[in-house]
Amino acid sequence: MKKYIQLQFKRMCRIMLPVMLVAALLICGIYAVYQATVAKWSSDNSTEKFSVALVGGADDALLRLGISAVQTMDASRFTIELIEMEEQEASQALYTGEIAAYIVIPEGFMDHALDGELIPLKFVSETGGKTILTVVKEELSAAVSNLVYASEQGSFALYDALTALGYSEIAYEEMNNLANLYAGQIFNRDDLFSVEYIGVSEGLDFEKALQCGLTVLLLMLLSIPFAGIFVRDSYGVERLLCSNGVGPLKQVLSELLLYGAAMLILVVAFTWGFSHTVIQKLVAAIPVALCIASFCLMIFGITRHLVSAVILQMLLGVGMCFVTGCIYPVSFFPASIQSIARFLPTGVIKTHFSGILQGKAVLESALLLMAFSVFFFTVCVGLRKYRIDHHKGGGL
Amino acid sequence: MEIRIEHLSKSFGKKQVLRDITFSAVGGKCIGILGVNGCGKSTLLSLLAGVQRADGGAFYFESSDLFQDEKRRQHLVGYVPQGTPLIEELNGWDNLLLWYDRETLKKELDGGVLKVLGVDAFLKTTVSKMSGGMKKRLSIGCAMAQKPPVLLLDEPTAALDLSVKKDILRYLSQYKKSRGLLVMTSHDPIELEMCDECYIMREGVLHPFAYDGNIHTLMEKL
């Protein structure tokens, strides 16, 4: 067994150069995807402005003043651009995607508001279905209408009260002060609350979730070049080893130890920044390395030809990574797929990495990965025994 | 030196591949096992080589049952499987190191069995670049690491050209002359010429067969 490990090590050393080249290419490619995705996400979330059209109310001087104030002073000016349009024009623009929504200001809206009568604004958006977004939009348009109505009512009520009490000389000034206070509160609403994005995966923000996912994908892809060593169409050496007392169990164990060690180096290298001490890094990486190595050995055992092994490994690796949210957030998939994804090896590895990144205990995911490794190892031994027993020989 | 195989049987699921196989042979002889493809010849050698376990029966070397003494079997029985038991991307030297320790290997290459096989001539050649004859000689070299008195060969010269066949058979004759016992499966009349006793396997049962060099009689019997 020792000689077999030494020989496999020698074979592994010989393919190190291609492995390193593939690794370099993959790292460059995946890093480019990571940077592009993060950059797009950042720009989507920070610089892109939503265009909202305003229909009607253009003749009202007070309303124009309000719109001008919103566009120059309000915090929403960084994310929302207000454009004045006719309703037909706005409807067409909404259809073509030029604007995200339009607000219809009813005829005499301000006059009625000054008289203390509320006429609701109409908010027209592109989404017809009832989603959280439409609910928020409906709530928002109602809140804005009510806010304008209530603040106007409050201002006039103060004016009326002060006049009735004989303070008519200061009534107009106090009404204006109150109106300014309302406006100030609305314009400074950022100080009243903060929005926190809890992320797209297991409590991680977008960048870290993507980092975890792409690391899993990278490791799955990096395991492919080892197919050159472990895929065989003839089991002559294995039969002879068997005849000399090195049975399927010892053979697969030797290969797993060596392949696992190579994967361990890769896992530690690519998750170096995830945890602090070397011990932590190793303890966290061992279950992952063993799981990936045993999974790949199983694939190499199923297939007998290098090309089919590489294709199968690529399809399974990328497919599992996709389904488990390593490439695309898992929250976008149906609930049934999300439940399955949680128990796929790549899903467990991603959860494991997420836990390490957040400094959580990862015992559960580590045990699950070890259980996967034992299962894959057992299948590998069974397959090896089958291949040895059903050896068809082959020519020279 | 004598081997005796008694009441050997093997099944794969419901299919019985070998039924009550019994024969014996002494040192310096060559036993040929003939039969159509899939009749169980390779399975018989696999069982004797310890690659698979027999369902029943015994394999005696002198008086000890080698099925019960794995270590002794490994020492006494050499096995050359069909195809090549070699690692393609390594050279001859590396492949031999799997079976020999470094010192013994050097000694065997200097004037031992590997020298006789001519393996020293292509020691640094990668297996994938070797000819069929080189691979077969190297395979026999690997099987001879323990210098076993019994050598099992599964179609040893299949797919080799005539001159290479002649070289391999010359070496096997030398082995036989040194009181080695050969058990080989074969389809090849040239190989059968060096066999002292032949058996035909039909439906898992071994039948004695006297090969007289007439290929037509052989084909009828198969």
- Least confident interval from A24-33, A271-280, A387-396: A387-396
Q: Is the pLDDT of residue A187 over 80?
A: no
Q: Is the pLDDT of residue A271 over 90?
A: no
Please indicate if any CB of chain B lies within 8 Å of the CB of A13.
no
Q: Does residue A333 lie within any of the structural domains?
A: yes
Q: Does residue A394 lie within any of the structural domains?
A: no
What's this model's pTM, rounded to 2 decimal places?
A: 0.70
Tell whether A322 and A351 lie within a shared domain. yes
| Per-residue pLDDT at A277 | 79
Pick A377 or A94 by higher pLDDT: A377
Single out the residue in A191, A212, A231 at which a domain terminates: A191
Q: Does residue A196 lie within any of the structural domains?
A: no
Q: Long-range contacts of range A147-154, CB-CB < 8 Å, 24 or more positions apart?
A: A147/A186, A148/A113, A149/A113, A149/A116, A149/A118, A151/A179, A151/A182, A152/A113, A152/A114, A152/A116, A153/A116, A154/A178, A154/A182
- Least confident interval from A73-87, A353-367, B31-45, B202-216: A73-87
Q: Is B90–A10 a contact, with Cβ atoms under 8 angstroms apart?
A: yes
Tell whether A22 and A74 lie within a shared domain. no
Mean per-residue pLDDT pooled into runs of 10, chain B (222 residues): 91 89 91 88 91 92 89 91 85 91 89 86 90 88 89 85 83 88 87 88 87 74 70
CA–CA separation, A207 and A210 (whole Å):
5
Distance from CA of A11 to the nearest CA of B (A): 7
Distance from CA of A236 to the nearest CA of B (A): 4
Please indicate if any CB of chain B lies within 8 Å of the CB of A237.
yes
Query: CATH code at A166?
Result: 3.40.1710
| Per-residue pLDDT at A396 | 40
Q: Is B71–A393 a contact, with Cβ atoms under 8 angstroms apart?
A: no
Q: What's the farthest any 2 CA atoms get from each other in chain A?
A: 115
Reported as a single tens digit per residue, the pLDDT across A192-211 is 555 544 445 566 777 788 88
| Per-residue pLDDT at A395 | 40
Pick A341 or A78 by higher pLDDT: A341
Pick A364 or A133 by higher pLDDT: A364
Residue keyed to tokens 């690659």: B51
Which of A245-249, A322-326, A371-375 is modeled with the greatest confidence? Answer: A371-375
User: Residue B56 forms beta bridges with which residues?
Assistant: B9
Q: Does residue A349 lie within any of the structural domains?
A: yes
Tell whether A177 and A209 lie within a shared domain. no
Alpha helices in A303-344 (DSSP H): 306-323, 335-341
φ/ψ of residue A256, rounded to 5:
-65, -40
Task: Provide residues of B within 8 Å CB-CB of chain A.
Answer: 12, 42, 46, 49-52, 70-71, 74, 77, 79, 81-87, 89-90, 94, 97-99, 132, 135-136, 139, 142-143, 154-155, 158-160
Q: Does residue A396 lie within any of the structural domains?
A: no
Q: What is the CA radius of gyration of chain A?
A: 33
Tell whether A178 and A58 lie within a shared domain. yes
Average pLDDT along chain A? 80
Q: Is A245–B83 a contact, with Cβ atoms under 8 angstroms apart?
A: no
Tell whether A83 and A31 lie within a shared domain. no
Angle ∠(B81,B85,B88) on CA atoms, nearest 5: 150
**How many domains does chain A divide into?**
2
Q: Is B87–A11 a contact, with Cβ atoms under 8 angstroms apart?
A: yes
- Domain chopping of chain B, boundaries: 2-84+148-221
CA–CA separation, B55 and B57 (whole Å):
7
Residues 6+ apart with CB under 8 A from A110: A57, A60, A62, A63
Tell whether A127 and A152 lie within a shared domain. yes
φ/ψ of residue A360, rounded to 5:
-85, 165
Pick A241 or A120 by higher pLDDT: A241
Pick B48 or A106 by higher pLDDT: B48
- Domain housing A358: 2-41+201-389
Tell whether A19 and A135 lie within a shared domain. no
Tell whether A231 and A299 lie within a shared domain. yes
Reported as a pLDDT band with limits 50, 70 and 90, residue A345 is: very high
Tell whether A100 and A83 lie within a shared domain. yes
Tell whether A29 and A125 lie within a shared domain. no
Q: Is the pLDDT of residue A3 over 70?
A: yes
Q: Is B89–A11 a contact, with Cβ atoms under 8 angstroms apart?
A: yes
Where does residue B20 rank: exposed (0-12), middle (13-18), buried (19+ CB within 10 A)? middle
Tell whether A310 and A350 lie within a shared domain. yes
| Per-residue pLDDT at A140 | 64
Collapsed DSSP state (helix, strand, coil) of residue B4? strand
- Least confident interval from A36-50, A297-311, B160-174: A36-50
Tell whether A28 and A147 lie within a shared domain. no
CATH topology of domain B2-84+148-221: Rossmann fold (3.40.50)
